[in-house]
Amino acid sequence: MKKIKVGILGCTGSVGQKLVRLLSSHSLFEISELAASESSAGKKYGDVVRWLESEEMSDRIANLVIKQCTNDLESKILFSALDASVAGEIESMLAENGYIIISNSKNHRMDSDVPLVIPEVNTSHLKLIHIQKRKGKGFIVTNPNCSTIVLSLALIPIYRSFGLKRVIVTTMQAISGAGYPGVASLDILGNIIPYIENEEEKIETEILKIFGNMENDSIKFADFKVSALCNRVPVRDGHLMSISFETEQKAKEEEILASIYEFNQKCKEENGLTVLHYMLEKGRPQPLLDVNRSGGMAVTVGNLRKCSVLDWKFTALGHNTIRGAAGAAIKNAEYLLKMGLI
Amino acid sequence: MKKIKVGILGCTGSVGQKLVRLLSSHSLFEISELAASESSAGKKYGDVVRWLESEEMSDRIANLVIKQCTNDLESKILFSALDASVAGEIESMLAENGYIIISNSKNHRMDSDVPLVIPEVNTSHLKLIHIQKRKGKGFIVTNPNCSTIVLSLALIPIYRSFGLKRVIVTTMQAISGAGYPGVASLDILGNIIPYIENEEEKIETEILKIFGNMENDSIKFADFKVSALCNRVPVRDGHLMSISFETEQKAKEEEILASIYEFNQKCKEENGLTVLHYMLEKGRPQPLLDVNRSGGMAVTVGNLRKCSVLDWKFTALGHNTIRGAAGAAIKNAEYLLKMGLI
Amino acid sequence: MKKIKVGILGCTGSVGQKLVRLLSSHSLFEISELAASESSAGKKYGDVVRWLESEEMSDRIANLVIKQCTNDLESKILFSALDASVAGEIESMLAENGYIIISNSKNHRMDSDVPLVIPEVNTSHLKLIHIQKRKGKGFIVTNPNCSTIVLSLALIPIYRSFGLKRVIVTTMQAISGAGYPGVASLDILGNIIPYIENEEEKIETEILKIFGNMENDSIKFADFKVSALCNRVPVRDGHLMSISFETEQKAKEEEILASIYEFNQKCKEENGLTVLHYMLEKGRPQPLLDVNRSGGMAVTVGNLRKCSVLDWKFTALGHNTIRGAAGAAIKNAEYLLKMGLI
Amino acid sequence: MKKIKVGILGCTGSVGQKLVRLLSSHSLFEISELAASESSAGKKYGDVVRWLESEEMSDRIANLVIKQCTNDLESKILFSALDASVAGEIESMLAENGYIIISNSKNHRMDSDVPLVIPEVNTSHLKLIHIQKRKGKGFIVTNPNCSTIVLSLALIPIYRSFGLKRVIVTTMQAISGAGYPGVASLDILGNIIPYIENEEEKIETEILKIFGNMENDSIKFADFKVSALCNRVPVRDGHLMSISFETEQKAKEEEILASIYEFNQKCKEENGLTVLHYMLEKGRPQPLLDVNRSGGMAVTVGNLRKCSVLDWKFTALGHNTIRGAAGAAIKNAEYLLKMGLI
């Protein structure tokens, strides 16, 4: 099968680089264009980018001349890892001009006609594409914030089986989530920073949209309560979470574990990969040992136990720049392709 | 004034060493005896201990010959940093033989006639000493688990002013809390371990005793609900906590801040030192920057904000081996001395 | 082709585990037996081992019952990752009983009739096998210390092309080199320990044997001078080295680079893999970015520049537990198999 | 005694902040002015600076309005921690206008009429002040690069007693040496960067000036050979060095140790503080345990042993931002004051 040509907007940042790396060896997509800000445009990618991946870049990619993010781009399908300061306008403009934007940027996530999608969770929301199309020729599909994706995958089987009333999540987030250069080493070596700008708000609002239902042509948000407490920790990759939750219907431990197991089985049948893995060992999951399961696309959970305030508590972990960013966008594109939507 | 001679049980472990270091330059107490297990007894302290403190040990201390933990000890007042595997029996035996045991060990903390004391919080519990004395000649006073102390100091002003209904706390605990050699570097460098044995249970039960009231000759435990989720992080000193809480009486932000401020003012008037400090800067407290305030005896808090599940959430930090262990025991001894109880 | 059955002595330690992991998916060898100390023998491997690898163990391996290191073992070929305290006797005994021992242990490395081999460097030394065989039925082949392997591969092209007179190497060695639990986190987090027991002696003596010539039936050691200064650093995997060296014949920068390049080309033709890679980027190689090249089997070097004391200085890096231990032993076994020696 | 008023140029950077902190409680000097670049000038110090020290800033300092680095400054004595991009011109201009500049910046260090001084080593070089004064009314005194200071103090007793022919030093330098934000956490967490721009050149040249002799009105450089190999490591404070050296006159181990001991005794008699401390424990000095000796002003050395290439090898450590920067400048100022030169 001939691969589909795609472009990458914001190709020089850390998520952009992860998209370049993951799409370089993709079976369905082929990078034909790289685009970035005016200051990089016109230069070869290999000369401009401060490459952070340990795998080497191919010569073909290194020699691609970076373009600007305009409607001169030839690829109809554009992955966007643009900085939030410019993503809003550029993505809107390109969608209006007929491009299909698969975006990791936060700007349009909460727009009422933009789907905020995790393929294993809420593909029904993609119906919003048609509403967008009434306005223009192209459309935008977004994936959630990195922490939201991990939390959503950890909770979706429980939400579906028993409903959720209240969730409190404390995150311990890796430094790669802050981009490059990102967090100064003097700030984080042997330290924790108990604050990440706007992160708590994103988690608390995005999950309610994702878990919402399509009703007519709009999404009715889920109505449980979520509170997030976010921390930056000296870990390279992987957001770890301590989660407490209260269910609508009371559930037993084995019922919760069964819901997780069954959800994963269903995902596996569809995609062949573990998406949500419950670990039986004490003290797991851990970022260092578990972040790369299923190539960084699996969320791992463990240590389910009674919570004396809400009903239950457990631990969850996901790779923030793969499952939580670049891999999430690619998974969205794969689904759209499979469904004939691109 | 002549200093009071004291002994230290379990002097070679990490808390024992911290006791040695802090008591070496204490204005009221003087180390006259060091005791440890049979394997160390008879040897000079300086030859046996694997000294972890950065301050040098004095020659006098280095030359003290380690004794066994028997009732041949000459000091009436004994600080105990004994390992939990032996602390229970040894402390009981010594108390029955007339010694006063100021213990950091967990074994007797929850005994109904043993006070579990933070001097700024619950000195009324020391009345239990008299009940103990009816049984023997000496007595045991304990301080709480390191995390419990930090949490208790962070919450006590709020509890007193508004009452508490529910508390969820996620801890990010320093490696020094696990003793030496403790956590293997391969397990924690660039990693987090989301499990600390028995830690959650200790936090959830101890705080209810500490916040309880003396009624007749026993303590009536506080009856709010606490759930703890504990993690080990690659930080050297300082337990950081993300805390959500619900109050009995609804309170405004400025009222909560005022309760913290007033509690601290009162402590300061009594002791001259900041005990609980609210930081106004975003992203504080942080272990690296704030753990040593008041010589490691202050708990710092910050980032009070609305919680959409419980009422409020904030961050707390305390030095786990000073405020949370050796310094806590010493503070108990200082208070006992001031009250004429030793 | 049918795989050759092999056993692993010392299978529970960190190098033993790495052998288990690497041999589990090997194209020529198959693990049929696992052996360890008496305390582990009789138990299933999966129940005993504290598995440190991030890849999961297969069920087959987990269910293997650990045997003792006696001559009841059925596999003729035994990889040894035994602790130095027992390796000497056990390996001798087994070799005398006809087993072929491929050892990573230090005990027999400097024996006059035991080859100390890096296949890319000194396969001629394998002639010693025949001398050993005169004494017994089996034989022992060893690989060098982890740091020695990295240093030897970095220097061998220069040694062959220009000779060496003097080498000074400062090592910065990863914590995985100390096994598990190994270095306590309190000792190394944010710290460096400028001492590793016996490490400097090993490096200084082993390289002279490796670079020596077979003359008649014994090895004439190389006669240049080596001084090593060893440090433990808070890095997980990869020994990094700052090396200064003086050559016999004076060489130009481009000649040195050419010798490295040609050596690598020759290795590549034979094995298909990069063994020694010179990086042109400033500030490389770095453990984090470069340690896993060629699956952890490549040594990377860089930043060759004039040294004002000796002639030249440069940086070298190698994976200490793969290229420097388990992978080294396996490479020795592969070579022996290819040559028909096992 | 009335304190002498001083100003600090470049007060917002990390060395500038360290100067502010150390001079805030100095017995002889008082900060009366703070100066920085145009962008900070006119604002209060507390509002502009991103304070990195764990000790809190006094209100007086926080309220000082930052001035520009012009000859409107009122303090005759100015400490300079200016960035190298501007230090050259500003310091020259101010010296010509009568100010006394105590500089930590690199720009004028190698000027033939500017003393590059470590008070314990080469105060005779201060004679150059008079030569400078012929040109203008003020003068500049500089301190060496952080690594050079540590190396110089470690070697000066040996140099004076036995002479030096050749020195090879591998540095493992702390992240605080790169300023703030400095090294990105993604670059250094669990990693080493074997390259620091221009650092090797500074070490190799500066030490020869420092160890040189005043002859007539100029410095005759020392003529031994030094080669430096520099690495950045994930350590917060303290540059650790693995050093090999060859002496002019052969020396025994006890003679070298005696030279170190006697040098330190002499310094102690003059200043009361340990300046160079030989540690007898194996594996010391270590950054974490030893960097703060004498308030960060002592260099610690250890593990002296035979080197098979040069004569001897040992380990040295010093606090890079105290002994190696801010503290070095202040020590220079103290000496100038004591000698009546300011």
Same domain, A163 and A48: no
Q: How far apart are CA D80 and CA D101, in angstroms?
A: 7
Pair (C125, C150) in one structural domain? no
Q: Which helix (H) or strand (E) holds D240?
A: strand D239-247
Q: Are D130 and D172 found together in one domain?
A: no
Q: According to the model, what pLDDT value does residue B137 have? A: 84
| The pair of three-digit structure tokens given for residue B210, joined into one six-digit string | 């500490």
What's the structural domain count of chain A? Answer: 2
Question: For testing the chain C interface, which of B15, B175, B189 should be mutated: the one with the most C CBs within 10 Å?
Answer: B189
- Check if C54 contacts A (Cβ < 8 Å): yes
Query: In Å, how far is C180's CA from the nearest CA of chain B?
Result: 7
Distance CA C322, CA B256 (A): 56
pLDDT confidence tier of residue C55, bands split at 50, 70 and 90: confident
User: Is A53 within 8 Å of A21 (Cβ atoms)?
Assistant: yes
Whether residue A130 is predicted with pLDDT greater than 80 in this model: the reply is yes
Question: Is residue A266 located within the same domain as residue A330?
Answer: no
Mean pLDDT of chain C: 96
Identify whether residues A72 and A181 lie together within a single domain.
no
Q: Which residues of chain B have pLDDT under 50?
A: none
Instruction: Verify whether the Cβ–Cβ distance A183 to D182 is below 8 Å.
Output: no
Does residue D245 sit in the same domain as residue D110?
Answer: no
| pLDDT band at residue A54 using 50, 70 and 90 as cut-offs | confident
Residue A199's pLDDT is what?
A: 98
C36: containing domain: 4-144+325-338
Q: CB–CB of D172 and C168 under 8 A?
A: no
Upper half-sphere CA count for residue A91 (Cβ side, 13 Å): 31
The phi and psi torsions of D232 (rounded to 5 degrees) equal -100, 130
pLDDT score recorded for residue D55: 83
Q: Are residues B288 and B168 in the same domain?
A: yes
The reported pTM is 0.96
Question: Please, which chains are in contact with C (at least 3 CB pairs closer than 8 A)?
Answer: A, B, D
Distance CA A36, CA D299 (A): 49
Q: How far apart are the C-alpha atoms of B25 and B62, rounded to whole Å? A: 14
Q: Give the H/E segment covering residue A164.
A: strand A164-173
pLDDT tens across D232-264, in order? 999 999 999 999 999 999 999 999 999 999 999
Q: Which residues in B lie closer than 8 A to residue A193 (C-beta atoms)?
A: 283, 286
Contacts of D185 in chain A (CB under 8 A): 175, 182-185, 187-189, 234
Q: What does the block give as tokens for A222?
A: 């889920």
A104 and A117 co-located in one domain: yes
Q: Does A174 touch chain D (CB under 8 A)?
A: no
Residue D133: the pLDDT is: 82
Same domain, D153 and D274: yes
Whether A146 sits among the annotated catalytic residues: the reply is yes
Q: List all residues of chain A from 237 to 296 with a beta carbon under 8 Å from chain B.
A: 240, 242, 244, 282-289
ipTM of the predicted structure? 0.96
Q: Closest chain C residue to A189 measured between Cα atoms?
A: C190
Residue B261: give its domain's CATH number. 3.30.360.10
pLDDT at residue A135 is higher than 80: no
**Are the beta carbons of C91 and C107 closer than 8 angstroms?**
yes
pLDDT at C159: 98
CA-to-CA distance for B174 and B151, rounded, in angstroms?
A: 15
Q: Where are the beta strands (DSSP E) in chain C?
A: 4-9, 29-36, 67-68, 77-80, 100-103, 139-142, 164-173, 213-215, 218-220, 225-232, 239-247, 276-279, 299-306, 312-318
Question: Can you tell me the mean pLDDT for C234-250?
Answer: 98
Q: Are residues C219 and C122 in the same domain?
A: no
Chain B residues with CB-CB distance to D289 below 8 A: 54
The predicted structure's pLDDT at residue D271? 82
SS3 of B216-256: the string is: CCEEECCCCEEEEEEEECCCCCCEEEEEEEEECCCCCHHHH
| Contacts B–D by Cβ distance under 8 A | 11
Backbone angles phi and psi of A231, in degrees to 5: -135, 145
CATH number at residue D115: 3.40.50.720
Please give the backbone phi and psi of residue C226, each rounded to the nearest 5 degrees, phi first: -130, 130
* Contact (CB, 8 A) for C129 and C139: yes
Same domain, C177 and C288: yes
Report pLDDT digits (tens) over C123-157.
999 999 999 987 778 999 999 999 999 999 999 99
CB half-sphere exposure, B172, CA atoms < 13 A: 35
* Cis peptide, bond prior to residue D157, ω within 30 of zero: no
* Predicted confidence (pLDDT) per residue in A232-269, tens digit: 999 999 999 999 999 999 999 999 999 999 999 999 99
Interface test with A, best of B168, B232, B313 (most A CBs within 10 A): B168
List of chain D residues with pLDDT < 70 = 1
| Inter-chain residue contact D240 with C226, CB threshold 8 Å | no
> What is the rounded distance in angstroms from the CA atom of residue B130 to the CA atom of residue B181?
39
Domain match, D160 and D114 both: no
Question: A269-322, pLDDT tens digit by residue?
Answer: 988 899 999 999 989 999 999 999 999 999 999 999 999 999 999 999 999 999
CB contact under 8 A, A242 and B190: no
Confidence of residue A52 (pLDDT cuts 50, 70, 90): confident
pLDDT at A1 over 80: no
